[in-house]
Structure 1
Amino acid sequence: MRLLTFRTEGGTRAGRLDGTQVTPLDAPDVGALLATGLDWRARAAATGPLVPFDELDLAPLVTRPSKIICVGLNYKRHIAETGLDTPEHPTLFAKFANSLIGARDPIVLPAASGAMDWEAELAIVIGRSVAHADHAEARAAIAGYTVANDVSARDFQRRTTQWLQGKTFDATTPLGPTLVTADELHDVADLVVSCKLRGEQMQGGWTGDMLFPPDEIVSYISGIMTLEPGDVILTGTPAGIGDSRTPPIRLEPGDVLETEIEGLGVLRNECTLSPRPTRGT
């Protein structure tokens, strides 16, 4: 099953994608659909009038998740390119919903940063409440997977030892285009993760290079906090970020960033520059 969230004149609405057609569902977004309970699959199987997928204005897959948890330094080749030590435990930081955009929305580059970078990522969406889960319980709590790009302001990220301020600028994190349920994937540990900038491939990784796989990540995080339906977890990025190149490559206004994960879909986002805030506002 493939689920998505799209914009309407009255707000947002969840839908089910079948081929090139979408069936609108009785929920404002995929997160709300998942929160209806363990029968969300039956609700998602509803029938009704069809809408062409290409005509939809895609919103972030989950519009207001209660939590967005991110894992840093989780691909072995990426750890090597940064020159940092291999972590013994998942490196966690957070984002907030203000950072989320849809699969075709513009990425708004903050005028305050001169070091915007890309990070193609597999994202997990939680389908049921889970706490203190073992790996089997963690796998059962995953509704499915989607595509994200953890666009990062490297200069702000490095201002302190805490990364959050470089990771959650408004309108910088595309999430979508669809939630693909786990039963549709042949093997989540065998997916190609890629990112193109200006038509040139920058990242070409493989989920099998993860240090901590999805079930281990969910199990670990659920030992710290209860995960709820619609919560989103970004699982880290493969090698090929702009910051590790010589000289570094930065995102610029007018750039088009294409993020793709095998079997999950493509994000295509043009970069625009935010207006510099007026003093005193």
Structure 2
Amino acid sequence: MRIARFAGEDDPQFGVIGDDNGVQTIAHLKGDPLYAGIELTGQKTPLADVRLLAPVIPRSKVVCVGRNYAKHAAEMGGEVPVEPLIFLKPNTSVIGPGEPIFYPDQSNDVHFEGELAVVIGRICRDVSAEDANRVILGYTIGNDVTARDLQATDGQWARAKGFDTFCPLGPWIETDFDPADVRVRTVLSSGGLDSGGQAGETKQDGRTSDMVFTVPDIIAYVSSFMTLLPGDVILTGTPEGVGPMEVGDSVSVSIDGLGTLTNQVVSAHD
């Protein structure tokens, strides 16, 4: 099942993406599926007629894993961690597909980091790796945008990772998905949004099977010291190939089975 969040007539709404005689549609849901479950209103809208938003706005936190691909750890000049390297992004950094990433005045070196994202579906603590799937609502795509120069000078990552718009998520949540071995690809294009990540230059091309710590490992580790809440998002790390984006570029992160998340970089003054 693909669950999407979209701009409604008044407030944002949730829906389930489906096919109606060859036309992709979104069947409207009553309330937030994290809390209200899956209850259809009976109304459908062509998917092409709606504007998709971030499929979840975490009420609490975005938990991130650093250096979770060995080759990325090497390109950053670091060792592979013995335990998952955890940091947080604020929920105010979250944006949806097609929304702009604002290039802040404080940085001259903003990077993309395409990642698989896990959406937590229930409150949990001390979850074993064997039980991790029970607390997952589904999966989406994330971009852990990072001001690399500030990451180096600050000595910690809160500012470098935490700017508004530095956590694109989308385009939807896929509930029926196996994250063990799928392709993660990031394409950078100059001069505006591309057509689903096919144009431009491929910068990252990895597989989740190369993760140092698997999704169940990560959930078990994080929940051992931190309560996870419905709607929390876990970014699972990025493959090698991270690099800079400039104002006017667009970045598309594609994951097999999940689709493509595309955002354009704009000046913070736009």
TM-score normalised to structure 2 length: 0.91
What amino acid is the match of 1:24?
Answer: H
Q: Please say if 1:3 is aligned against 2:3.
A: yes
Query: How much is the aligned-residue C-alpha RMSD, in angstroms?
Result: 1.4
Once the two structures are superposed, residues 36-91 of structure 1 have per-residue CA deviations (whole angstroms, 9 ceiling, x without a partner) of 4xxx2xx25x2512111122111111124311111000011211222201101111
1: CA distance, partners of 2:234 / 2:113 = 14
Structure 1 consecutive aligned stretches of length 4 or more whose deviation exceeds 3 Å:
none
Check the 8 A contact 1:197/1:256 in 2, yes or no.
yes
Determine the structure 1 residue equivalent to 2:30.
Answer: 26
Determine the structure 1 residue equivalent to 2:184.
Answer: 193
1: CA distance, partners of 2:50 / 2:106 = 32
2: CA distance, partners of 1:271 / 1:165 = 18
Following superposition, the deviation at residue 104 of structure 1 comes to: 1.3
2: CA distance, partners of 1:207 / 1:254 = 29
Q: Name structure 2 gaps, 5 residues minimum.
A: 190-199
1: CA distance, partners of 2:58 / 2:180 = 28
2: CA distance, partners of 1:215 / 1:227 = 14
Deviates more, 1:46-55 or 1:203-212: 46-55
2: CA distance, partners of 1:64 / 1:227 = 11
1: CA distance, partners of 2:230 / 2:130 = 17
Check the 8 A contact 1:126/1:228 in 2, yes or no.
yes
2:86 to 89, 92, 96: 92
Determine the structure 2 residue equivalent to 1:246.
Answer: none
Percent identity for Structure 1 against Structure 2: 41
Helix, strand or coil at the partner of 1:201: strand
Helix, strand or coil at the partner of 2:80: coil
Deviates more, 1:154-163 or 1:250-259: 154-163
Once the two structures are superposed, residues 187-217 of structure 1 have per-residue CA deviations (whole angstroms, 9 ceiling, x without a partner) of 3111000000011100000000000110110
Superposed, which structure 2 residues align to 1:114-125 within 5 Å? 114-125=108-119
Q: Please say if 1:130 is aligned against 2:131.
A: no
Helix, strand or coil at the partner of 2:42: coil
Q: Please say if 1:144 is aligned against 2:145.
A: no
TM-score normalised to structure 1 length: 0.88
Superposed, which structure 2 residues align to 1:94-109 within 5 Å? 94-109=88-103
Check the 8 A contact 2:57/2:231 in 1, yes or no.
no
The count of residues paired between Structure 1 and Structure 2 equals: 256
Check the 8 A contact 1:130/1:138 in 2, yes or no.
no
Deviates more, 1:18-27 or 1:113-122: 18-27
Superposed, which structure 2 residues align to 1:151-166 within 5 Å? 151-166=145-160
Superposed, which structure 2 residues align to 1:175-214 within 5 Å? 175-181=169-175, 184-185=176-177, 187-198=178-189, 199-214=200-215
Q: Please say if 1:275 is aligned against 2:269.
A: yes
Q: Name structure 1 gaps, 5 residues minimum.
A: 243-249, 277-281
